[in-house]
Amino acid sequence: MDATPVHPSWLGEPGSTRDVLYRLLVEGPLSRSALAERLGLSAASLSRVTKPLLASGEIRETPDRHVGPTGRPTQPLEIDADRHHFIGVKITGTHVYAALVNLRTDVLASAQAPLESTEPQRVAELVALTAKELQEQHPVPVSGLGVCLGGQVLDGGEVGYAPFLHWENVPFARYLGGHTEIPVTVTNDLNALTLIEHWQGAGQGVANLVILTIGAGVGYGLVINNQLIHDANAGLGQVGHTPLDATGPTCDLGHRGCANVMLSIRNIETHASVSLGRVVRYDEVLQLAEAGDPLARAAVDQAGFALGRLLTIASGFAMPEKIILTGEGVGLAYTAADAVEAGRRQDRERHATAIPLECIEVDDIYWARGAALAAMQQPQP
C-alpha cells in the first residue's frame, strides 16, 4: 500500500511553489494577502515564491483590479490552467466516456462511444480513436491520457481483473500505448473518483475522507492526511464482502448478508421482486417505498439499515472527517434515510461524534475527469 498526494505532479515538488499553484487551481483567483494568509506565509516570502512563477507565465495577475481593504488597488493572482491539457476516459462494461480537460479539469471537449466488443485490443483502439476525436474538437497538445475502469489495476497499467469487461491479466496500458503517442496511465475507477472528489468535489479541503459507492457492487476510496491511499487489491471489491445482516441472503461466495448482497441494485431488485410477487426495477422499488408500499418499504429499509452499519464500520476503522456516498444506487440513502440513520447509530459508540455524510450524484464524465487527474499525478516526462 502506498500513498499519492492529491496534488497533480504537474505542479512540481512539495513546497511553497506547489502550494501556491495548488491554492490558485482549487480556489481560483486570490489576492496576494488572501494567498499569504491561506499558506501561512509573510508577504515577503510569498513575493519570493510568486516572482519566478509570474516571470515564467505559470501564474499571472488577473486583468481586473480590485480595491483592497486598505483602499489600495490589488490585482488578484490566477494560474494559467491552460498551460497543460489531459484526456480522461472512463471505461464501463458498455461505453467509453472521455473528456479533454485543462489543469483545473475544466471540460473543454467531451465524447462517448458504445463498446462494440470488450476484447482488450478493440477497446484500446476505441479509446485511442475517442481521444483523437477530442483533439479534433479542441486542438491542443495533450500531456497525458488517463483511463479508469472498475477492477484491479497493477503496476505498469496491467489490469489484473476487471469483471465488467471480463478481463484477466490484460496489459491494457501497453495495448493502448500501441495506438496513441500520448503517455498513458491506467487506474482503478474508485481511485479516479476519489482524486476528483477530494480535488474539486464534496471532499475538497477534507484531509481524511472516505468515499463509498453503491450500485453494481460496493466501492471504497480513502484519503488519509490528504494522500490518496493506493492498494494493490483496490478494485477487487473487498469491502463488498463485509458482513452486515445475519438474516440476509447469500452472495456468490456464500457470505450471508454481506454488503454486496445487501446493497447492490440487482439484489435489492431481487429481494423486492420476490416480496411483491412481480419483477420490479430499482427506481420503482424506491418509488413504491416512498409511496407507502409496505413490502417495498421493508426491502428498502433492510438495505438502508445495512448501509448504515457499513458507514459505521468505515467510520470506526478509517476515522474520517467526512464520508461521501455515491454510485448508481445512491437513491437508497435518500429513500431509506431513517433506516440508514438507525443502522449507523446501532453500532456506533453513543459518545462518538457523528461523521457527516454527503450523498452526491455524479455522471460518467465526472469519473473521466478523475482519470485525467490520475494522469496528472504521473511524473512529468
Of 59, 52, 107, give the one whose Cα is nearest residue 83: 59
Q: Are 49 and 12 in contact (CB under 8 A)?
A: no
- Pairwise CA distance, residues 381 & 375, whole Å: 12
CB of residue 283 to Zn ion, shortest distance in Å:
25
Residue 314 CB, shortest distance to Zn ion, in Å, is 17
Helix (H, G, I), strand (E, B) or coil at 182: coil
Give the shortest CB-302-to-Zn ion separation in angstroms: 16
List Cβ neighbours of 317 (8 Å cut-off, separation of 6 or more).
none
Is 64 or 252 the residue whose CB approaches Zn ion more closely?
252
The phi, psi pair for 270, rounded to 5°, reads -60, -45
CB of 260 to Zn ion, least distance (A): 5
Which CB sits closer to Zn ion, 257 or 343?
257
Amino acid at 159: V
Closest CB to Zn ion among residues 85, 255: 255
Closer to Zn ion by Cβ: residue 138 or 241: 241
Grid-cell match 502506498, residue found: 2
Point out which residues pair with 228 in neighbouring strands. Answer: 4, 223
What are the grid coordinates assigned to 143, written together? 500531456
| Min separation Cβ 60 and Zn ion, Å | 53
Q: Which helix (H) or strand (E) holds 45?
A: helix 43-56
- Whether residue 270 contacts residue 252, with contact meaning beta carbons closer than 8 Å, is answered with no
In which residue are the cell numbers 461523521 written? 355
Alpha helices of 57-170 — where are they, by DSSP H? 120-137
Nearer to Zn ion, 177 or 249 (CB): 249
Q: How far is the CB of 245 from Zn ion (least distance, A)?
A: 11
Between 109 and 268, CB nearer to Zn ion: 268
Residues near Zn ion (CB under 5 A): 241, 251, 253, 255, 258, 260
